[in-house]
Amino acid sequence: MAFAFRLGLVVLTRLHQVTEEAAAVLEVAVEVVSAEAGVADEVVDPVTAVVVVVVVEEDVVLPVVEASLVLSHPLRYPNLLSLLSTKTLPGRGAPRGRGGPGGGRGGKPGLGRKGPGAVTLEPHKHAGVYIAKGKEHLLVTRNMTPGESVYGEKRIAIATTNAEGEEEKVEYRVWNPFRSKLAAGILGGLDNIHIRPGAKVLYLGAASGSSVSHVSDIVGPEGVVYAVEFSHRSGRDLIGMAKKRTNVIPIVEDARHPQKYRMLVQMVDVIFADVAQPDQARIICLNAHHFLKNGGAIVISIKANCIDSTAPAAQVFASEVNNMRKEGIKPKEQLTLEPYERDHAIVVGIYERHSATN
């Protein structure tokens, strides 16, 4: 008997039943397990990289993860604080199937918040980033294009008081750390991402633009994001997103050859890189030599398996940092991205042009 549920990172008290209705609240599609009754298995959610223990018993699927994880790191598991604080989930024998209360699997894309709820906004230590506090604690950025979602993310309208003392609604977009290395780094505790309102940012490995759109929100109309992506398929989505965001300049080109887009990019304050290539240190340093101001910052996401799948991740990270140091990049911060990404690290450095070795 096969079971296929829509599950995200399900954090529940041990052996509580998850009905289809509860599972449908979460928007990440995962093929859970095909098993006979009574068989337990472990699966890895491909988006969250979290192992979920699944028990099949009397036609009931029971995902099990320790609830202490979400309680000890509330900002790292924004989807589930509300799930843990809602009514007790029904036990064995409760109504099952898609016709249960709540409307099944449909609905708008997002993180599954229900009900209006009172949401308050708190500025994060990184300028342009905020925490929306309600039933859930969510990392958000102010939407540069109100009314528009870029990749199906949740949007929240929060009442604020403007300069004239009048109340107005301002729209914010939820920033999912399981879909953005930069968001994961922020929630992981980076001291300085160097991306702030008014900054000029070169973003290498822009993909379809989901993370780029949040950087666009942060830098605002006075800043600019030069978004470089090699894939033409992702580049089409990136260009489509940039049509509505005037501070994003999409560049569909190979980041290994910065001379090909040198006429499009001014000197920038920050380079963010998520290129996942074996020679990514060389790629980043080439772009830094072309476009990064002296004293500018580099924020790089390193995926160990893409560089050397045979070496321990910590060894790969150290080697990449050493390669960047040789090119005049002085490392300031380094942290791993668990639980959002496995064998990933994010490194922040300052570029000193005069100290690069030629």
Q: What is the DSSP letter of 177?
A: T
For residues 299 and 185, what is the distance between their CA atoms, to the nearest angstrom?
Answer: 10
Per-residue pLDDT of 7-53, as tens digits, reads 333 333 222 333 443 344 333 323 333 333 333 444 444 444 444 44
Please, which pLDDT band fits residue 316 given cuts at 50, 70 and 90? confident
Contact 140, 78 (CB under 8 A): no
131 vs 354, residue with greater confidence: 131
pLDDT given for residue 356 in this prediction: 54
Give the side-chain half-sphere CA count within 13 A for 296. 24
Count CB atoms within 10 A of the CB of residue 80. Answer: 24
Q: What is the three-class DSSP state of 81?
A: helix
In the predicted structure, residue 67 carries a pLDDT above the cut 60: no
The beta-strand segments (E) located in 128-207 are 130-133, 137-142, 155-161, 167-174, 200-204
Contacts 24+ apart (CB under 8 A), 35-40: 35/1, 35/3, 36/1, 37/1
| Weakest mean pLDDT among 116-120, 305-309, 339-343 | 116-120
CATH number of 181-355: 3.40.50.150
Domain boundaries, the chain: 2-67, 181-355
Phi-psi region at 206: left, alpha or beta (left = phi > 0; alpha = psi -120 to 50)? alpha
Per-residue pLDDT of 189-222, as tens digits, reads 999 999 999 999 999 999 999 999 999 999 999 9
In the predicted structure, residue 318 carries a pLDDT above the cut 50: yes
In the structure, how many helices (H) and strands (E) does the chain have? Answer: 9, 17
The beta-strand segments (E) located in the chain are 2-3, 33-34, 40-44, 51-57, 60-64, 120-123, 130-133, 137-142, 155-161, 167-174, 200-204, 224-229, 248-252, 268-273, 292-303, 329-336, 344-351
- The H or E element spanning position 183 is helix 181-188
Please, which pLDDT band fits residue 241 given cuts at 50, 70 and 90? very high
Per-residue pLDDT of 71-114, as tens digits, reads 344 444 444 434 434 333 333 333 333 333 333 333 444 444 43
